[in-house]
Chains A and B, each alone.
Chain A
């Protein structure tokens, strides 16, 4: 079996053993080398899903549904089920995931463990807000059912708990009603950051989904120019378009990154000036998951892999810090086509280590150019730290321990919920 890797293909580390789970009642885990760590569908970045010791438990074999209440929209399923499998089941019955990240290839267990968020955070909060219950298998052999507000606090430790509180075996979700699989989507161009803030404020008041793409290379007066994409689920329509999904794949590992300063500048300029229609009926698949249409898109960054830098900045510091981050990135001259800006709502996350919090989040991918890239991150870290922000563990392969600890003040209190039989490379790295 090839060594499981995270989505950005960094770092390259090997566990001592790999064990594929196929039944949720599997109790053979006692004999496996420890520490243990769950590995779902490999969509998180960095090393939250990796270990250099012990055993990686592959959870994709836990892919069964358990109960689906079609009237109440409550679905219980095993942790290795992907969001795509859930949507394929529930959308025809008029239900949808109330919170979904930008890929539907993540597993439910991974979505809980990273408390993922989506374009509707300002309206619906994050994934953890919609978990009604979950079951944990602990390395001492006990099995614990956790619900929000449990007296022990194990639920809030497990939401965003990076898989460290035990193995999540099943999850019960509250779904959200929809009328059809289509979305009304509106795109608006903004010429700079200042326009973004104004536009975004109005958009969030009237649209449940809102996210901005930005041209990370634009400087000066055009700094932060981009396109704001807002959407809502479509009400009943007399007539719906036909949707057929096509998927392509990058067949081989490219020897070098296709994304460089030149290709990016050309791409961003064309993308920014694309003709925009006001309101379009778009199927939920291309709206929420445009990149899922290209399997293995991570290969375009070449054999050396890439990093994602995703931070959140508190509201009062956001305007200045985001400008300063973009300035630093533009001067560095590289970034990604995938530069995303979004404001989180005020709904507090349930997890002790949840990333979503009031403020603005900026996310970019960078091809791995070794030290040069790492030095850029150090400059970005300084801005984030200064502004009282935090980086997203599920997207990180390199943040310094001090930045993690300042961004997640509950990390020490979290310690008592960690299953002593579980650990990850990430956790060892940030709690030194």
Chain B
């Protein structure tokens, strides 16, 4: 089982990451949390400090992760403060307005930049660190949306799909170095990011459920996990609909 004693969270104030952080703290972990919004990050860190006991270290750092120039420095700082890194969870991202992206190429590029390219930049640096230390877990929140392009959400889907594929290759490479690379594919989650949707119905999950699944997948060194589990079945069907039919559907 992988150790989750010293964990770095990128995008720590996202609802899923926040719940993951609380559960990790309850398990005795020390955390280095990176978030973009200062007020949200302060509220998160205060809360985690109340939940932690004395020897646990809880640090926060305000940074915009789309500014890739900061990545190397952030990893170094986390390593220094935690005295080494056992695992990393990359949880930041945006949910693009698909319609707006269709009308605006630079917005589309910006979304791909945020959700895929900046993450790939971060992963490239992290991969070398982890390869050197010959142990650890890198977990990334991708999405079921990355499994197949759909008219309603393909900018987001393409970015997450790129991540999923990148992680596949990285997993293959780092397997020799005893490092686990975990791709997390949540379905619909009841978070501020999805506030615009009607969230009634059985498919919607709570962030704390997803967080529990993430921690388990990281501990067990899983490769790809759908959260909750039933999305695996749903996506299996969606992936296997012939393109000839799929292109006429409005999913």
Binding site for B on A (CB under 8 A): 1-2, 20, 22-25, 61, 64-68, 89
Which residues of the partner chain A approach B1 to less than 8 Å between Cβ atoms? none
Known contacts: A2-B200, A22-B15, A25-B39. The answer to whether A64 contacts B47 by CB under 8 A is: yes
Q: How many residues of B contact A (CB 8 A)?
A: 14
Binds A, one of B62-70, B99-107, B191-199: B191-199
Known contacts: A22-B15, A23-B39. The answer to whether A67 contacts B51 by CB under 8 A is: no
Known contacts: A24-B43, A65-B47. The answer to whether A1 contacts B198 by CB under 8 A is: yes
Check A64 against B44 for contact (C-beta < 8 Å): yes
Check B15 against A66 for contact (C-beta < 8 Å): no
Chain A binding surface, main DSSP class? loop
Check B50 against A67 for contact (C-beta < 8 Å): yes
CB distance from B150 to the nearest CB of A (A): 24
CB distance from A171 to the nearest CB of B (A): 14
Q: Does B40 touch A at the CB level, under 8 Å?
A: yes
Which residues of the partner chain A approach B39 to less than 8 Å between Cβ atoms? 23, 25
CB distance from A366 to the nearest CB of B (A): 30
Q: Does B113 touch A at the CB level, under 8 Å?
A: no
Check A89 against B198 for contact (C-beta < 8 Å): no
Give the docked Cα–Cα distance between A1 and B190 (Å).
10
Check A23 against B40 for contact (C-beta < 8 Å): yes
Check A67 against B15 for contact (C-beta < 8 Å): no
Check B46 against A66 for contact (C-beta < 8 Å): yes
Give the docked Cα–Cα distance between A24 and B47 (Å).
13
Which residues of the partner chain A approach B51 to less than 8 Å between Cβ atoms? 65, 89
Which residues of the partner chain B approach A2 to less than 8 Å between Cβ atoms? 200
Which residues of the partner chain B approach A1 to less than 8 Å between Cβ atoms? 198-200
CB distance from A51 to the nearest CB of B (A): 20
Check A20 against B195 for contact (C-beta < 8 Å): yes
From residue 35 to 61 of chain B, which have CB atoms closer than 8 A to chain A?
A: 39-40, 43-44, 46-47, 50-51
Which residues of the partner chain B approach A64 to less than 8 Å between Cβ atoms? 43-44, 46-47
Check A67 against B199 for contact (C-beta < 8 Å): no
Write the chain B residue with the least CB distance to A90.
B50
CB distance from A169 to the nearest CB of B (A): 11
Write the chain B residue with the least CB distance to A61.
B192
Give the docked Cα–Cα distance between A23 and B192 (Å).
10
Write the chain B residue with the least CB distance to A68.
B50
